[in-house]
Structure 1
Amino acid sequence: MANSVYSINKGINRPLEFKGLKAQYIWYMAVGVFGVLILFVILYSCRINTYVCLVIGLSAGASWAMWIYKLSHKYGEYGLTKKLARRSVPKSIRAARNRDLFVGNLNGVYGKSDERNVADNGGRA
């Protein structure tokens, strides 16, 4: 019986990469290819000349691929996700004009101030 030779996977804890695209950019490319295919089908079903459909489809596909490769090389595996997350962080936190919400929470009642608690409890604090 012959000995089998197995190659060892030395890419443990490395991002998934295919032809220079890293991680989520592979999915973005797949969505783009599917979108260009749908665009071609719609144009072809509208009885537009086949060569015009091909030119539009190829140019849309090429521009999409160049844009995705540019994003992949510029931001890397998680850089685009971090950039989009950084956009959703507020620039500043503004407090409310009154402290009723916080005072009520200290007393165990949410959103009511001391005066309202006394009135609601029949004069008991």
Structure 2
Amino acid sequence: MGIVYQINKGVGKPIEFRGLQGQYIAYLAVGLVVLLLLFTGLYLLGTPLVALLPLVMGLGAALFFGVFALSKRFGVHGLAKFMARRGIPVYLKFSSRRVFTGLRVLQGNKERQARR
């Protein structure tokens, strides 16, 4: 018999680069581009390199540590789930019962249409 080769072994797995998973790679890339633009803008405005380099290096280190911490804490999809959960209201307040009675009428209409 011939040798069986596995094709597309990585299908369904999240993208990973040096410990960063999924969207965190993009967050780091965008942050680095912003840092580059910040450095360029401040340099063109005449900021001395003695003050500029420690600032950019410090912000870059904070960016790296922050993105790696988010990746480690939340994983591939955890940050999106965390942000979505924060958007859910704690409770809903209605001043009338019309919302609920209207649901019953709509449910009855759907059941009648399904019987036909």
TM-score of the superposed pair, with normalisation by structure 1: 0.70
- Cα offsets for 1:44-103 (capped at 9, x unmatched): 01211113211111110111110000000111000011000000011111112x345666
Relative CO higher for 1 or 2, CA cutoff 8 Å, sep ≥ 6?
A: 2
The aligned amino acid for 1:56 is L
Correspondence for 1:30 = 29
Q: 1:27-106, aligned counterparts within 5 Å?
A: 27-96=26-95, 98-99=96-97
User: Higher helix share goes to which structure?
Assistant: 2
- For the aligned residue pairs, the C-alpha RMSD in angstroms reads 2.4
Q: 1:104 to 1:12 in 2, by over 3 A?
A: closer
Q: % of aligned pairs identical?
A: 38
Q: Structure 2 CA distance, aligned partners of 1:31 and 1:69?
A: 14
* Structure 2 segments unaligned to the other structure (5+ residues): 106-116
Report the Cα offset of residue 18 of structure 1.
1.0
Cα separation, 2, equivalents of 1:80 and 1:14: 17
In structure 1, list runs of 5 or more residues that go unmatched.
1-5, 108-125
- Matched residues in 1 for 2:97 and 2:103: separation? 10
Larger Rg: 1
- CA offset at residue 10 of structure 1? 2.1
TM-score by length of 2: 0.75
